[in-house]
Chains A and B, each alone.
Chain A
């Protein structure tokens, strides 16, 4: 009896082995011939603070939102603004009135049509003071927008109106040369009016979340992962390859680096610095310039930096190449001006056209320092403290700068660091002489960078106010001729760099490791990678 049982069992095992063998062989052939699952796993590094286009103010939230929604304009694979949810736009002679025609086939992810009323509602919601949108000021170019947002006007007086279901009219205070670029910002995305009106917490969970872009939100496990899948109602869905995108939320650099190595992540950014050396020659390693500038702000109201020559001397005494090659190591470019590379203009890249506004020269620097001190009547330079917000890299760079100033200028500076929020308060209150800061352009135009140093900009903590600079910037904003606009911006930058209320150090760079199984990922200069047109070519 036992023997019979055993032999039947053995036979069954044999048969099942053969069957599964046949089965998997078929599957293997299928896999090669049929489609590879178009799925990609990215790393968001932290929980996106908000997936509501009106509230989001950080690039992590923007990364997800940009895949879920589409504005009147959208970015194509080259990063250029092209019409998206709008099929047509007409601009008035004076450049102040825009009339958009919303696409007939523009649909929400639940199948309902996207209407002009959705846009009007979304923009007014951003401007509503009760919403508390941190990016409402980007809409201040629109008539009545600033007044409404500051509680001094009404929603009816805001220059955005739905003339009918498919026609949206926008009235600006003055013509705006880069309005199309501005409209690719997530703050200008539409939201479904009927949904948001009935549920103020519509953007809190994946259930009930509706968007109009290439993808829809299918899963949101807070603090753990976000999953989006192709939106079958998207009018341009045939151009979208990637079917499913998953974002994990791993903050620790060593951990996400390991997860890339085991294949748990397909793409990572900001490698841990010790890994950069090893991965430099890896084909999967990639460096992309990032549209931002690392700098040290002067407080021009505090000695010794009230003197322009002394400021210039400090800037000229720093060896930027040493910093980017030995500390940051990610292909950053030394900065001798403010606007980074990556802004295309009719004459070429803005930075390449503008060139450098000063050069490193120790002898000249020493001379300028002496002249400056003589002008102020100082025999000894007042003590200088450089502050930075607590972070490993900032510390290393600050220490390097301290050493360079000692060696090249004979000036001994002190260093101090503070935790971020405390640091913001300290610099806000002008409680510093020299302070580290970074500035990234939320969209790729020199205006967004140069705006930092406007006299009334809340980001400008240097106390440097220059009427000529402000006037040039204001003129550039309303200039309709592209070529002339960039000329004005170059002139503005020249004024800024002549006074130099800050030390430009380097232009940012972003490093990535991308799995070779993917092709067609787009790396914008001021955002995380765009995977809409990506294709998975191997398992």
Chain B
């Protein structure tokens, strides 16, 4: 029952986002066909506009677009004559996904590790070191870190390629650049969460029971402390997705982020709508999965509120 209600909410959310984007997109000035170089006679322009339904009144355009959306047809791209939006997404998304997932793994793994180390060494050297790294990660934006990484790892020490995509080596620097800020945030979350958990009575009970420190930390400590981090995964996904735009530009990675940003400057309406809907869908699904995982990690959490509780 919960799942059904949730799915409906998701669909309504995506529909709302698509509608809002449509309205905003059509309100800003600028014509996709305006250019300083070419001269399209009015008659030819009319033909082209018709191809994208741009000659019809706005409400009609909206209905037509929503209709196509139901069949997952995101339409033709204005900028690219021969490739439609579905193709653009199919080409670009796998690349962005690899980049995003790799960064997610790095951020989670090292963030959690760093947070645990800090918490277990509270106020000692390792804690201060870990938190110092975290501050740097949060303060230095990815577009400053990226060129620095390139300068040292690629140009000076020649360990990795500077940019572009192809081999696994190409994905290392971009993933690190993208993961640094999220990793720092996760580290701080994990640390404060762990600190709080380790003070709890049940930890003292476990110690009294004679369990090994490792078992205590892993089975009882982390499992409880990790909830705030899981909560963060939702927004983290959003951060990673938007972060890829900058990273993809700097590292010349052929991902979806670049198409998205370019399409806005070009007023490529179908691509703008298509990628927005696509990203929103991913985000909404991720949030749903995160909520489900709460239940799995902590059986005490009820996903619905019971009246009278």
The interface stretch among B14-22, B26-34, B233-241, B273-281 is: B26-34
Residues of B close to A225: CB separation below 8 A:
164
Interface 0/1 of B152-182, CB less than 8 Å to A: 0011001001111110000000000000000
B250 touches A419 (CB 8 A): no
Identify which of A57, A221, A259, A421 contacts B37 (C-beta below 8 A).
A57
Residues of A close to B166: CB separation below 8 A:
224
Chain A: minimal CB distance from B189 (Å)? 32
| Cα(A439)–Cα(B36), bound, Å | 8
A149 touches B44 (CB 8 A): yes
Residues of A close to B36: CB separation below 8 A:
424, 437-439, 459
Is B266 part of the binding interface, using a Cβ–Cβ cutoff of 8 Å? yes
Residues of A close to B258: CB separation below 8 A:
223, 251
Residues of A close to B91: CB separation below 8 A:
222-223
Residues of B close to A133: CB separation below 8 A:
44
Chain A: minimal CB distance from B129 (Å)? 31
A425 touches B39 (CB 8 A): no
| Cα(A258)–Cα(B153), bound, Å | 11
Residues of B close to A223: CB separation below 8 A:
91-92, 254, 258-259
B34 touches A421 (CB 8 A): yes
| Cα(A46)–Cα(B302), bound, Å | 50
Known contacts A248-B252, A262-B154, A424-B35; is-contact A149 B79 (Cβ 8 Å):
no
Count A interface residues, CB 8 Å.
52
B43 touches A425 (CB 8 A): no
Chain A: minimal CB distance from B115 (Å)? 33
B267 touches A221 (CB 8 A): no
| Most chain A beta-carbon neighbours within 10 Å: one of B28, B38, B51, B83 | B38
B162 touches A129 (CB 8 A): no
Residues of A close to B154: CB separation below 8 A:
258, 262
User: From residue 420 to 443 of chain A, which have CB atoms closer than 8 A to chain B?
Assistant: 420-422, 424-426, 428, 437-439, 442
- For B166, give the chain A residue with the smallest CB separation: A224
B contact face: mostly helix, strand, loop, or mixed: loop
| Cα(A252)–Cα(B258), bound, Å | 12
| Most chain B beta-carbon neighbours within 10 Å: one of A250, A261, A442 | A250
| Cα(A129)–Cα(B36), bound, Å | 20
A134 touches B38 (CB 8 A): yes
Interface 0/1 of A188-227, CB less than 8 Å to B: 0000000000000101100000000000000001111100
The interface stretch among A47-55, A66-74, A400-408, A525-533 is: A47-55
| Cα(A458)–Cα(B37), bound, Å | 10
11 chain-A/chain-B pairs, Cβ below 8 angstroms: A57-B38, A129-B43, A129-B47, A137-B41, A149-B41, A149-B44, A262-B154, A264-B163, A421-B30, A425-B29, A439-B36
* 7 closest residue pairs by CB, A with B: A421-B30, A134-B38, A204-B82, A223-B254, A250-B252, A224-B254, A424-B34
9 extra interface residue pairs, beta carbon distance < 8 Å, beyond A57-B37, A150-B42 = A134-B40, A224-B166, A250-B164, A255-B252, A258-B151, A258-B154, A419-B265, A420-B265, A458-B39
